[in-house]
Structure 1
Amino acid sequence: MAWGGGALYVVVLTLLVGGAPGGGSATLRAVESMLAAGLLVALLRRTPLPALALTLLGSLCAAFLSKDFSQSRFLSFLAVDVALGLIVATRTWRVSAPAVAVTFVVQATSIAALSHGPYELTGSGVIALLAMASSCMVGLLVRERREHAVALRSQEVAEAVTAERLRIARELHDMVAHSIGIIAIQAGVGSRVIETQPAEAREALRAIEATSRETLSGLRRTLVALRQADPDAASGQAPLAPAPGLADIDRLTAATADAGVGVEVRWGGERRQLPADIELSAYRIVQEAVTNVVRHAGTGHCRVAIDYGEEELSVEIVDDGHGTAGATGAGFGVTGMRERVSLLHGRFSAGPRPEGGFRVAAVLPLPDLNAAQAEVR
């Protein structure tokens, strides 16, 4: 179709220019040749240089065969300028630079050959040069804008990939670190009492088995979610379990108690269902802080305070241990908690207490439910 349009352009131009050699004004001939150049659009997008050559040929024919010797016969070159601008906008400099050079030489030579007197040559040459420069500038601006849009899209994709990698890293760290910490504590207890207290060793092994199975199940769900490109397309698979939330705090404290650390949970405010991202972040913060107590604090007790406010959810974990839980900087626990809070535009602090021990505090803003319901209505 593209080459058919090019062939049809030649036929139409021959009829327009050669059909009535003595009739028609120069302006009419120029407009006719520009309209006929529309047949070259497909060819121009496919093979720009041959299309530009045909446009130059048609414009030259319209200018040289015109019996009107006014400056209007040079209007046919506007079709060449439009084609040149499209080439500059869509092609590389390797293609655009020769096209600009050839077009300039052909137009300058034609105007010099057809002009009568220095005044007409100067006027027509300046107008042709300005028209060609304008078309090239417009094409260059369109090209830069397109390249800028591509760069922005690439940057957005890279940022999305980085954010997803960080999210997966946080989830895996919070899931695995807690379970491995519990397993390590229970394994140590079991190895010490396996000969003197077989019943205690048996309980430790059962706790290790249960924690391992739960962690394996969580990892399997995570891997399935990562490999599943289209959730609706995967048929026959078991549904994924819901993400953990504050309702699972009791199960978390029970597992921590089996590892030798008692957790005292204090609830404040009116307990209610919160958005899933806030529930998950709050649970992961408590989980990571309690895991740090088990692994680093060297104490058998910690306190967790969860306060449901009107506009904020406050979470605080305090222990009376050595005061260095998770503060060494070697791990990613505190960093992950801070990232979670930052994504929700909350406030976070973690550090040793003056009176001893360690304190982790997070404040997560809650959405305005009344405003959300009003928008839905």
Structure 2
Amino acid sequence: MVMSRQAPWNRALLRAPLDWWEERDAFFKDGVLALVLALLAFVPTLSNIGGQIGDLPERPASVLSVGLVLAQTLPLAARRRWPAGCLAVVAGAFAVYQALGFATTFGSLGLYLALYSAGAHQVRVRRGLASVVSAGYAVLALVLDRLGSPQGIADYLAFYLTLAAFWLVGSTVRIRRVEEAQRRRLAAEVATAAERARIARELHDVVTHHVTAMVVQADAAQFVLTSAPEKAGEGLAAVSDTGRRALTELRYLLGVSEATGESASADLARAERAPTLGRLGDLVEQARRSGQPVEFNEQGERRAQSVDVGLAAYRVVQEALTNAMKYAAGQLTRVVVRHGEDRIEIEVTTDGPTASWASAPAVREPGPGGGRGLAGLRARVRMVDGELEAGPRPEGGFGVRASIPSKPVQE
């Protein structure tokens, strides 16, 4: 029991330094790396670990050699901020150090780190920098040869390939980093486009349906304003009720659009306000109050569905009723919803001559700038692995049929 109580405290104690280190910026971390490398360069037991070319007679250490060692290590503090400058200083110090014949130190590894950093972090004039470094190495090889170095062409070439390998490793890391950034940017753009399409689809479904109903109700009220004032009053009350319904759905839509990383309780609250299969009766009643005769038949046992399935089914009926009010006002509309074990079948048919639907933009395939009705509905139904068919009926009128996989949830 004592150990179990102490374990979280010990983990927190160990985690604190790591968290502190992760919060430091790159310049601070590289500065620590440069300082550690500089200190290790003066540890005698590490003197045999490092880069060396030339194999000239060894000179004793001096103030100059110490300065050159520091010049090969301390500039690494800027290896990510100024990779080209860091490489220039480190490579120059390494070349002078080798030409003067000082003993190998651990600090010479700074050249490898500088080459890797230039390959990984240098953005501009990369080819120019690589050419200058290669030319500088060729000059160093000539100088060492003139000073009596026993190294041959094969030795210089092997060392050059080693240096080039560190540059290439850094370049590979940079390429992968750029590709990952591009993938993330593309994913963000796709997500943004999908979100815009979703919002546009939702706005179309909400605004078009309710505005259509309000226009029909207002026209009917105006028609009977003098002959039947009580009917006109009922029509105006229906307009007011439809407006309130529209505001409620718009508030829900705005709440979903603005939700980013909120709590599960907030998500649940929004889900409870989402249009569902249980509110299909409200849609039918609203259409009836707008003067559209509607027969509603619900078959099978209705079960609570996931938000996406319930919303898709709701929008199918909503869009079909909206089109019926717009293009076949006064014609009988039948709404049949069948709740099966695996699927929800929805069929909405409207009587009347087929010619009356010819001008409906929702019937035609959408062009680049319009036709969000049934085209958007097809996209919504496909998102829940459903199928949607819509078109004129042989016996006249228009029909919309949808088959949506059932996804029951526990109430």
TM-score of the two chains, using structure 2 as the length reference: 0.74
Q: Which one of 127, 139, 153 corresponds to residue 109 of structure 1?
A: 139
1:361 and 2:401 correspond: yes
User: Aligned partner of 2:385: which letter?
Assistant: H
Distance 1:37 1:67 in 2: 13
Quote the residue 1:314 is aligned against.
345
Measured at CA, do residues 340 and 28 of structure 1 come closer, stay the same or move farther in structure 2, by a change above 3 Å?
closer
Quote the residue 1:149 is aligned against.
180
How far off is 1:311 after superposition?
Answer: 2.0
1:55 and 2:94 correspond: no
Q: Which one of 385, 392, 409 corresponds to residue 352 of structure 1?
A: 392
Contact 1:263 1:302 in 2 (8 A): yes
Distance 2:101 2:50 in 1: 8
Q: Which one of 296, 309, 315 corresponds to residue 278 of structure 1?
A: 309
Could you say what secondary structure the match of 2:352 adopts? coil
Could you say what secondary structure the match of 1:160 adopts? helix
Count of aligned positions: 354
Could you say what secondary structure the match of 2:385 adopts? coil
TM-score of the two chains, using structure 1 as the length reference: 0.80
Contact 2:277 2:311 in 1 (8 A): yes
Measured at CA, do residues 152 and 35 of structure 1 come closer, stay the same or move farther in structure 2, by a change above 3 Å?
farther
Equivalent residues in 2 for 1:318-357, closer than 5 Å: 318-323=349-354, 324=357, 326-328=362-364, 331-357=371-397
Q: Which one of 328, 339, 347 corresponds to residue 297 of structure 1?
A: 328
Contact 2:333 2:349 in 1 (8 A): yes
How far off is 1:7 after superposition?
Answer: 7.5
Quote the residue 1:255 is aligned against.
286
Could you say what secondary structure the match of 1:45 adopts? coil
Identity of aligned residues (%): 30
User: Aligned partner of 1:365: which letter?
Assistant: P
How far off is 1:3 after superposition?
Answer: 6.2
Measured at CA, do residues 300 and 199 of structure 1 come closer, stay the same or move farther in structure 2, by a change above 3 Å?
same
Distance 1:173 1:349 in 2: 19
Could you say what secondary structure the match of 1:168 adopts? helix
1:30 and 2:51 correspond: yes
User: Aligned partner of 1:205: which letter?
Assistant: L
Contact 1:228 1:234 in 2 (8 A): no
Q: Which one of 43, 47, 69 corresponds to residue 78 of structure 2?
A: 43
Contact 1:78 1:131 in 2 (8 A): no
Measured at CA, do residues 215 and 88 of structure 1 come closer, stay the same or move farther in structure 2, by a change above 3 Å?
same
Distance 1:4 1:131 in 2: 26
Contact 1:321 1:357 in 2 (8 A): yes
1:218 and 2:239 correspond: no
Contact 1:261 1:301 in 2 (8 A): yes
Distance 2:261 2:149 in 1: 71
Quote the residue 1:164 is aligned against.
195
Query: CA-to-partner distance for each residue in 1:274-300, whole Å, 9 max, x for gaps?
Result: 111100110011011111011112443
Measured at CA, do residues 11 and 232 of structure 1 come closer, stay the same or move farther in structure 2, by a change above 3 Å?
closer
- List alignment gaps of at least 5 residues for structure 2: 1-27, 53-67
How far off is 1:230 after superposition?
Answer: 5.8
Measured at CA, do residues 278 and 59 of structure 1 come closer, stay the same or move farther in structure 2, by a change above 3 Å?
same
How far off is 1:123 after superposition?
Answer: 0.5
